[in-house]
Amino acid sequence: MGYYEKLLSLERIKKSLLDEKSRMFFDAKVDYMINRDGEQFLRVIDTIDDNWFCRELEEALARVDVKGIVIFGSGHDGKITKKILEKCKYLLSFFCDSDSAKVGKNVEGVKVISVGELTEKYSDHLVVLGSAKYAEEMYNILLERGFPTEKILYPKWGLLVAQCGNQYYDMFLPEDNTVFVDAGGYNGDTLFDFVAWTGGKYKKVYVFEPIFDMYQVIKKRIVKEQLTDVELYNNALWNKKEDIFLQKLRQVLMQQPREKLLLKE
């Protein structure tokens, strides 16, 4: 498919959306895919909805008792992370930065503290790593200084990601006897959002997850929550029956040290 055909396809998708809010989201996401301007994307969606939720942040806060939130990194990515926190209705206590020239100053109205001050005085705070490029280096610095591992949030996608509503289920109402096919179950989040959305009143769910590690995570969650009428397959969906090889990007999400920072079953 050439670029012209792809553009026509995008236009057809946009026209098929049922409301103006969805079309605005679509335009904003396409623009971000082209320009990679995260701040512009946040400015646009800021005018659309104010009911945002960051699952990764909520899970981290549910695991530990903290007095505040600190973002490690006060540069471009750190500022975007601050905006995401604000959209999810969380206030930032401090920025932290390894650059001594920034320490003691304010960035967007928030004080910047040193790594030493963070580890000595604020071990009762959750630290969000606010740089996709330097996250691993930041993580190692905190570990070397003895900062509690469970109070470090290492975003699985490089930066925090927020969503509005139930992601796939906030634009329409459930119907009786719904059959749902989850083609790429990941860790089961979409499955459990679906169950919550229907109030458990559905006919059948089929979940396909090709990566065995993630398949096992979903399987354990299904057993733990005692879900019924759910069929789980350790397969991918394709246009024909065959064996294919999938490249595991950084062993998906099961590689150290990130696995310590993610919700695991």
CA distances from 126 to 43, 82, 119, 141, 149 (A): 26, 13, 11, 15, 10
CA–CA distance, 263 with 229 (Å, rounded to integer): 25
Q: Which pLDDT score, from 0 to 100, does residue 27 have? A: 83
CA–CA distance, 202 with 220 (Å, rounded to integer): 21
Q: Which pLDDT score, from 0 to 100, does residue 108 have? A: 93
CA–CA distance, 60 with 232 (Å, rounded to integer): 27
Q: Which pLDDT score, from 0 to 100, does residue 250 have? A: 39
Strands (E), 161-203: 163-164, 179-183
Dump pLDDT digits (tens) for 220-250.
999 998 999 999 999 888 877 877 766 543 3
Give residue for tokens 């109030």: 199
CA–CA distance, 74 with 114 (Å, rounded to integer): 11
- Number of neighbouring beta carbons within 10 Å of residue 66: 19
**What residues contact residue 41 under an 8 Å CB cut-off, 6+ apart?**
28, 29, 31, 32
Dump pLDDT digits (tens) for 21-45.
778 878 887 887 777 777 777 677 6
- Number of neighbouring beta carbons within 10 Å of residue 38: 17
The mean of the pLDDT values for the chain is: 83
Mean pLDDT by 10 residues, the chain (265 residues): 67 76 79 76 68 85 93 94 90 96 95 96 96 94 95 90 67 76 88 87 92 90 92 87 62 41 34
Q: Residues 255, 130, 92, CA angle at the centre, nearest 5°? A: 130
DSSP per-residue letters across 85-139:
HHHTT----EEE-S-TTTTTSEETTEEEE-HHHHHHH-TTSEEEE--TTTHHHHH
